[in-house]
């Protein structure tokens, strides 16, 4: 207790200073000059409350911690049925989830479906970045650049060449992959912090390039009027453009803007399922094992004849291509994109999804992506406190489960001998 | 089988190897001894291509390899157990071993796996344990086993006895001798000069980056200078 009193006093003092400067005093303009105005009594009351709170928490930290240790720690994995059963149930569970995903949008509001679509985009981005950060262990802070490349690929192809979404999708993935490869080459000799900084810089370069290349990208004004995806040529607009047909005319039903929202959602589901499938396959292939080995010990990899450069490059390229797909879909969904959608905060959010989910764990990444997009929406009522709550949740998460929501369980690899 | 001719290696400006020439014959155990910092690890890793030899020639099975990429060299039929083991600690024993046969077909890998497990029954007992949780000796066995998974003709071992109990060292040396009987050529770097020279067909002594002596294992064991410097009198 005695030893805790000085740190507690110190923390309270810091809190007091900070809160005073931030909310306690204000600069107000009176005519031409600025005057310092103190806050009202209520605010001071809150400040006192905060200072005392910090003091007490710091003072009682040790008893509190002991209490916390006695509390049972949450272990989600313990709630799952045992492995054998899970294995047998797996196909059924997957079928259940997939059919749920497909049926669900017809029963809820348009807003909810829209939000779900956004969530799915983040799921895809999280899964893609998970390859780079979770599997290969390369910290990439500029992942949003590939997302931007994908989005602009579709936007530009559609604007200048009138290419459809489905035509552009593979091209967007391909181009993003090329960019991933291009970035990969120079940075592969870097490790850890250095790699992070260079990728961060790359992300910004792409954004600034998009912002300033006005003649091609429209600069900060962005690109608008991007076509929505069509269903085998059927459009989801009220009136068909020349030479094509609309969905509601073809099926002879009333036009509803909800159709389009649900269709976009279904496309997103399809893309996410495809992403999960592909990544799962790759994870079980030698390439997946090589990523894992590289993350663990580069010297060992080298001594076994694996080429670290190729392995890293493949992770970068593959991760980037998924961002490209996600970007292409994003552009189609928004109908309008501008460099503002691809700022650093996006990279940070995607990285947070990967870390929160438990690096390398696909299930975890999906859960985290859902939490990261839905929580801010739920907290919308709290308006300006939203980001504060968001930060708070993150800090609590890291205290509660530093290894992430669902830490990676590596697929066990067996040598099948017939 | 492997021939180094006049090889010099630098770390930046510091020269770590001075015109080293050395030859490894098929089917023998060749031991390299030397004090700490003599350049033994450097010599072994120079064969593998990191660091790269600045001058001289390295020929493996008649093929010059000093210009090849490390990853290509390691697929020519030689394998290395690097200093400090470097096993994959989060992977199980089985997965570690399978990483060793990354470039082999499934059937080859399965056959070699059986073989390695008979050499190291201990690894069989620990088949599903994570590498990082094993004892030092078991980890060393795993590292050797993993290197053997690629069916190498030449095995480079860097201080396999490092930090192990005498009994475990004994086991490891027995296995090395057994590998020779199976036709694997072995290049052994050791601090444990006495035991290493006893099982060796030939040996070299490295001092400050230069080879200062060479001869049969017995000759080196009985050499006065070697006794004084490396065998404690
Ligand atoms: N990466 C490096 N950069 C610079 N100098 C190095 C590097 N690696 C080794 N050296 C230097 O090269 C010399 C030889 O080192 P090496 O590791 O080959 O010694 P060693 O004979 O294996 O010693 P030990 O028995 O202690 O393992 C030493 O002086 C060492 O300091
Ligand atoms: Mg050494």
Instruction: Please state the ipTM of this predicted complex.
Output: 0.89
Classify the phi-psi angles of B37: left when phi > 0, otherwise alpha if psi is within -120 to 50, otherwise beta.
left
Regarding whether B93 and B207 lie in a shared domain, the answer is no
What's the pLDDT band for A355 if we cut at 50, 70, 90? confident
Instruction: Work out the average pLDDT over A82-101.
Output: 80
Rounded to an integer, the average pLDDT of A26-46 is: 78
pLDDT at B80 over 50: yes
- Are A316 and A181 found together in one domain? yes
B49 and B162 housed in the same domain: yes
Residue A295 to chain B, least CA–CA distance (Å): 9
The beta-carbon neighbor of B110 closest among A286, A296, A417 is A417
Query: Is B101 in the same domain as B142?
Result: yes
Q: What is the mean pLDDT of residues A8-12?
A: 87
Residue A328 domain flag: yes
What is the predicted pLDDT for the residue at A252?
Answer: 66
Sequential DSSP letters for A27-50: EEEETTEEEEEEPPHHHHHHHHHH
pLDDT tens digits, A158-169: 888 888 888 899
DSSP letter assigned to residue B218? H
In chain A, which residues have their Cβ closer than 8 Å to the Cβ of B113?
415
Q: Which of B152, B172, B187 is the endpoint of a domain?
A: B152
**Measured on CA atoms in the order A157, A163, A165, A169, is the torsion positive or negative?**
negative
Closest residue on chain A to B101 (Cα): A304
Exposed/middle/buried for B166, CB within 10 Å: 0-12, 13-18, 19+? exposed
Size of interface A-B (CB pairs under 8 A): 80
| pLDDT at A361 exceeding the cut of 90 | no
Are B163 and B147 members of one domain? no
Q: Which of B97, B131, B152 is the last residue of a domain?
A: B152
Instruction: Quote the pLDDT of residue A290.
Output: 93
Q: Is residue B139 part of a domain?
A: yes
Yes or no, beta carbons of B109 and A412 under 8 Å apart: no
- A123 and A34 together in one domain: no
A123 in the same domain as A267: yes
Contacts of A417 in chain B (CB under 8 A): 106-107, 110
Query: Do B207 and B157 fall into the same domain?
Result: yes
pLDDT score recorded for residue A43 = 81
pLDDT surpasses 90 at B9: yes
Are residues A192 and A277 located together in one domain of the fold? yes
Range of the domain at B106: 89-152
Give a yes or no: residue B69 inside a domain: yes
A318 and A183 housed in the same domain = yes
pLDDT computed for residue A250 by the predictor: 65
What pLDDT sits at residue A417?
Answer: 44
Please tell me whether residue B154 adopts helix, strand or coil conformation: strand
Q: Contact A412/B80, CB-based, under 8 Å?
A: no
Q: Which residue of B has its CA nearest to A296?
A: B88
Cβ–Cβ under 8 Å, residues A5 and A62: no
User: How is residue A317 written in tokens?
Assistant: 């390229």
Ligand approaching nearest to the C-alpha of B83: 2
| Ligand 1-lining residues (CB < 6 angstroms) | B 11, 14, 16, 34, 36-42, 83, 191
Q: Give the model's pLDDT for residue A418.
A: 38
Q: Among the ranges A37-41, A91-95, A244-248, B50-54, which has the highest mean pLDDT value?
A: B50-54
**Which of the 8 DSSP states describes residue A416?**
-
Are B175 and B148 members of one domain?
no
pLDDT at A47 over 60: yes
Q: What is the pLDDT of residues A256-314, one digit of tens each?
A: 677 778 888 988 999 999 999 999 999 888 899 999 999 889 899 999 999 988 999 99
Q: Which of B87, B102, B109 sits opposite A306 (nearest CB)?
A: B102
Residues B46 and B132 in one domain: no
- What's the pLDDT tens digit per position in A364-392? 899 889 888 887 777 666 667 766 777 77
Nearest CA to ligand 1 atom 28: B37
- Using the predicted structure, report yes or no on whether residue A41 has a pLDDT greater than 60: yes
Per-residue pLDDT of A317-346, as tens digits, reads 999 999 999 999 999 998 899 998 898 888
Report the percentage of chain B scoring pLDDT > 70. 100
pTM score, two decimals?
Answer: 0.81
Rounded to the nearest angstrom, the distance between the alpha carbon of B43 and the centre of ligand 2 is: 9
A150 belongs to a structural domain: yes
Q: Which residues of A touch B75 (CB under 8 A)?
A: 305
Q: Binning pLDDT at 50, 70 and 90, where does residue B146 land?
A: very high
> Quick one: A148 and A270 in the same domain?
yes
Shortest-distance ligand to the CA of residue B46? 1
**Average pLDDT value for residue range B148-167:** 92
SS3 (DSSP) at B216: strand
pLDDT tens-place string over residues B45-76: 999 998 999 999 999 999 999 999 999 999 99
Contact: B88, A296; criterion CB under 8 Å: yes
Q: What is the pLDDT of residue A406?
A: 73
Mean pLDDT of B11-33: 94
How many A from CA of B2 to the centre of ligand 1? 22
In angstroms, rounded to a whole number, what is the distance separating the alpha carbons of residues A63 and A409? 34
A21 and A137 within one domain:
no
> Is there a contact between A126 and A354 (Cβ–Cβ < 8 Å)?
yes
Q: What is the mean pLDDT of chain B?
A: 92
Q: Does A393 reside within a domain? A: no
Q: What is the pLDDT of residues B87-140, one digit of tens each?
A: 999 899 999 999 999 999 999 999 999 999 999 999 999 999 999 999 999 999
Closest residue CA from atom 17 of ligand 1: B41
DSSP A171-239: HHHHHHHHHHHHHHHHHTT--HHHHHHHHHHHHHHHHHHHHH-HHHH-GGG-B--PPPP-BTTEE-SSS
What is the extent of the structural domain holding A60? 5-67
Considering only CB atoms, which chain B residues are within 8 Å of A407?
A: none
Structural domain contains residue B82: no
The ligand whose atoms approach the alpha carbon of B210 most closely is: 1
- Of the pLDDT bands very low, low, confident and very high (cuts 50, 70, 90), residue A5 is confident
Q: Which residues in chain B touch residue A359, judged by CB atoms under 8 angstroms apart? A: none
Q: Among B108, B104, B118, which Cα is nearest to B179's?
A: B118
CA nearest to B74 within chain A: A305
Determine the residue of B11, B204, B205, B229 to mutate for testing ligand 1's pocket, defined as the one with the most ligand atoms within 8 A of the Cβ atom: B11
A144 and A272: one domain?
A: yes
Q: Is the pLDDT of residue A24 over 80?
A: no
What DSSP state is assigned to residue A382? G
Which CATH number fits the domain that encloses residue B188?
3.40.50.300
Atom 18, ligand 1: which residue's CA is nearest? B39
B106/A296 touch (CB, cutoff 8 Å), yes or no: no
Minimum-distance CB partner of A303 among B86, B91, B109: B86
Name the domain boundary from A341, A373, A404.
A341
Q: Are A203 and A62 contained in the same domain?
A: no
pLDDT at position A126 over 80: yes
Answer whether residue B134 is part of any domain: yes
A333 and A200 belong to one structural domain: yes
B221 CA: distance to closest CA in chain A (Å): 31
Give nearest CA residue, ligand 1 atom 2. B11
Output the pLDDT for position A386.
Answer: 66
CA distance B112 to B169: 24
Hey, which bits of A49-111 come out as E strands? none
Per-residue pLDDT at A105: 81
Name the domain count of chain A: 2
Residue B231, min C-alpha distance to chain A (Å): 31
**Alpha helices by DSSP H, B126-216:** 136-148, 166-181, 193-199
Same domain, A63 and A112: no
| Mean pLDDT of all residues in B190-214 | 92
Q: Is the pLDDT of residue A79 over 80?
A: no
Q: Which of B152, B169, B184 is the last residue of a domain?
A: B152
User: CB–CB of A302 and B107 under 8 A?
Assistant: no
The total of structural domains in chain B comes to 2
Asked whether residue A333 is assigned to any structural domain, the reply reads yes
Structural domain includes residue A46: yes
The answer to whether A300 contacts B88, with C-beta atoms less than 8 Å apart, is yes
Examine the domain organization and report whether A40 and A169 are in the same domain: no
Interface with chain A: mutation pick from B86, B114, B146, highest number of A CBs within 10 Å: B86
| Residue A228 covered by a domain | yes
Q: By CA distance, what is A416's nearest residue in B?
A: B106
Residue B215 lies in a domain: yes
């Amino acid at each position: 207790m005695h030893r805790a009193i000085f740190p507690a006093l110190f923390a309270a003092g810091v809190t007091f200073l900070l809160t005073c400067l931030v909310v306690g005093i204000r600069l107000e303009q009176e005519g031409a000059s600025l005057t310092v105005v103190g806050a009202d009594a209520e605010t001071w009351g809150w400040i006192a409350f905060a200072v005392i709170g910090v003091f007490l928490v710091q003072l009682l930290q040790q008893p509190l911690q002991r209490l916390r240790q006695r509390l049972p720690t949450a272990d989600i994995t313990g709630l799952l049925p045992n492995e054998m059963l899970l294995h047998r149930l797996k196909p059924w569970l997957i079928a259940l989830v997939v059919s749920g995903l497909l049926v669900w949008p017809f029963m809820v509001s348009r807003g909810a479906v829209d939000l779900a679509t956004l969530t799915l985009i983040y799921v895809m981005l999280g899964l893609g970045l998970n390859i780079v950060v979770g599997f290969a262990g390369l910290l990439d802070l500029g992942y949003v650049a590939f997302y931007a490349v994908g989005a602009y690929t579709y936007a530009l192809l559609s604007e200048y060449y009138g290419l459809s979404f489905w035509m552009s999708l593979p091209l967007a993935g391909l181009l993003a992959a090329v960019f991933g490869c291009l970035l990969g080459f120079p940075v592969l000799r870097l490790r850890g912090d250095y790699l992070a900084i260079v990728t961060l810089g790359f992300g910004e370069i792409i954004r600034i390039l998009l912002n300033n290349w006005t003649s091609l990208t429209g600069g900060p004004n962005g690109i608008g009027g991007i076509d929505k995806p069509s269903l085998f040529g059927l459009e989801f607009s009220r009136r068909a453009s020349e030479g094509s047909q609309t969905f509601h005319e073809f099926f002879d039903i009333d036009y509803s803007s909800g159709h389009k929202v649900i269709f976009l959602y279904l496309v997103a589901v399809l893309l996410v399922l495809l992403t999960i499938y592909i990544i799962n396959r790759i994870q079980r292939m030698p390439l997946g094992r090589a990523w894992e080995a590289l993350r663990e010990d580069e010297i060992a990899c080298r001594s076994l004849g694996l080429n670290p450069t190729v392995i890293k490059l493949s992770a970068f390229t593959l991760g980037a291509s998924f961002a490209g797909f996600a970007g292409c879909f994003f552009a189609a969904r928004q109908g309008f994109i501008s460099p503002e959608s691809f700022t650093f905060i996006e990279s940070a959010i995607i990285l947070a999804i990967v870390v929160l989910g438990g690096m390398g764990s696909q299930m975890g990444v999906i859960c985290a992506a859902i939490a990261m997009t839905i929580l801010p929406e739920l907290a919308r009522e709290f308006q300006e406190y939203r980001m504060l709550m968001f930060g708070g949740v993150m800090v609590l998460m890291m205290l509660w489960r530093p290894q992430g929501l669902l830490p990676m369980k590596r697929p066990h690899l067996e040598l099948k001998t017939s | 089988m492997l021939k180094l001719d006049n090889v010099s290696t630098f770390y930046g400006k510091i020269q770590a190897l001075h015109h080293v020439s050395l030859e490894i014959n098929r089917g023998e155990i060749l031991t390299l001894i030397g004090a700490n910092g003599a350049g033994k690890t450097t010599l072994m890793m120079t064969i593998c291509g990191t660091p790269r030899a600045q001058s001289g020639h390295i020929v493996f099975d008649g093929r010059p390899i000093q210009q090849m990429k490390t990853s290509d060299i390691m697929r020519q039929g030689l394998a290395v157990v690097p200093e400090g083991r470097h096993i994959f600690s989060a992977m199980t024993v089985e997965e570690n071993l399978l990483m060793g046969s990354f470039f082999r077909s499934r059937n080859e890998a399965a056959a070699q796996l059986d073989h390695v497990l008979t050499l190291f029954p201990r690894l069989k007992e620990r088949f599903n344990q994570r590498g990082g949780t094993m004892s030092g000796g078991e980890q060393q066995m795993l590292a050797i086993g993993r290197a053997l998974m690629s069916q190498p003709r030449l095995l480079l071992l860097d201080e396999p006895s490092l930090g192990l109990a005498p009994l475990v060292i004994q086991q490891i040396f027995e296995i090395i001798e057994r590998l020779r009987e199976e036709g694997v050529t072995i290049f052994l770097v050791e601090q444990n000069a006495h035991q290493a020279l006893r099982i060796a067909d030939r040996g070299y002594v490295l001092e400050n980056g230069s080879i200062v002596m060479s001869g049969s294992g017995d000759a080196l064991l009985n050499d006065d200078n070697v006794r004084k410097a490396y065998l404690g009198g």
